[in-house]
Amino acid sequence: MNWKTLSSQYISQHVYFTARRDICEMPDGTIVDPYFVVELPTSVCALAITDDNQVILVKQYRHPVSDTLLEVPGGFVDAGESSDKAIARELLEETGYVFRDYIFVGRIAANPGVLNNYTDLYLATGGIKRSTQQLDHHEEIEIMLMPVEEVRQRLLNNEIRQSLHACCLFYAFHKLDSLGR
């Protein structure tokens, strides 16, 4: 059922946007030319809950959709870094919080028709503020603390429109419920 890649040609090579044009052969012999693939590192995100049971959400402008979105914290996994280390790093950088527990709740592919990466989803609990944000030069992130039930309602009201983050919330809330929290 796998396709055979006959050739690949890179049309862009950047750490956050590497794109290639493949020529592929399907199992029945059909040639697919061109097939474009965007290569991205694995990413991570988390439903992050503080020690006093507040969810940490981030609000930031997203240029590709020309909108400011309410999201969960997250980012890319660095080369040679594990996903569990990456989520701890990203949470600290974006929010200034460290967490007692980081629970893996799933792995999803955002758009496997074009993108080659996965996103690892986490539930982080027991968060304690340890530092200020350590943002990248292009990041402007507003931290918002909300009660767990308010975040559930916002999710159900389609106020969390970043699809990867909505999936993270669904899986993490399910895990949270199964833990009786």
In DSSP terms, which residues pair with 12 in a beta bridge?
19
Tell me how far apart the alpha carbons of residues 25 and 180 are, in angstroms, rounded to a whole number: 49
Looking at the structure, tell me whether residues 31 and 119 fall in a common domain.
no
> Distance of CA 123 to CAs 78, 85, 115, Å?
20, 14, 24
Percent of the chain whose predicted confidence (pLDDT) is above 90: 90
pLDDT for 40: 92
pLDDT for 27: 96
Residue 142, CB-side half-sphere exposure with 13 Å CA sphere: 9
Looking at the structure, tell me whether residues 23 and 79 fall in a common domain.
no
pLDDT for 133: 87
Looking at the structure, tell me whether residues 8 and 96 fall in a common domain.
no
Residue range of the domain that includes 11: 4-39
Residue-level length of the chain: 181
Looking at the structure, tell me whether residues 12 and 100 fall in a common domain.
no
Residues sharing a CB contact under 8 Å with residue 95, sequence separation 6 or more, in sequence order = 48, 56, 58, 73, 127, 133, 143
109: domain CATH number?
3.90.79.10
pLDDT at residue 101 tops 90: yes
146: three-class secondary structure by DSSP:
strand
Q: What domain count does the chain have?
A: 2
Tell me how far apart the alpha carbons of residues 119 and 109 are, in angstroms, rounded to a whole number: 6
Tell me how far apart the alpha carbons of residues 172 and 163 are, in angstroms, rounded to a whole number: 14
Looking at the structure, tell me whether residues 20 and 109 fall in a common domain.
no
pLDDT for 53: 96
pLDDT for 178: 93
Looking at the structure, tell me whether residues 34 and 55 fall in a common domain.
no
pLDDT for 24: 97
Residue 26, CB-side half-sphere exposure with 13 Å CA sphere: 7
Looking at the structure, tell me whether residues 8 and 97 fall in a common domain.
no
Looking at the structure, tell me whether residues 122 and 153 fall in a common domain.
yes
pLDDT for 17: 82
- Amino acid (one-letter) located at 54: Q
Looking at the structure, tell me whether residues 114 and 139 fall in a common domain.
yes
- Beta carbons of 16 and 76 less than 8 angstroms apart: yes
pLDDT for 63: 92
- Beta carbons of 169 and 160 less than 8 angstroms apart: yes
pTM score, whole prediction: 0.92
Q: Where are the alpha helices (DSSP H) in the chain?
A: 83-95, 148-156, 163-178
Nearest to 41 by CA among 136, 122, 120, 117: 117
Looking at the structure, tell me whether residues 121 and 171 fall in a common domain.
yes
Mean pLDDT score of the chain: 95
Looking at the structure, tell me whether residues 151 and 168 fall in a common domain.
yes
Q: What does the pLDDT look like over 8-18, one tens digit per residue?
A: 999 999 877 89
Looking at the structure, tell me whether residues 60 and 113 fall in a common domain.
yes
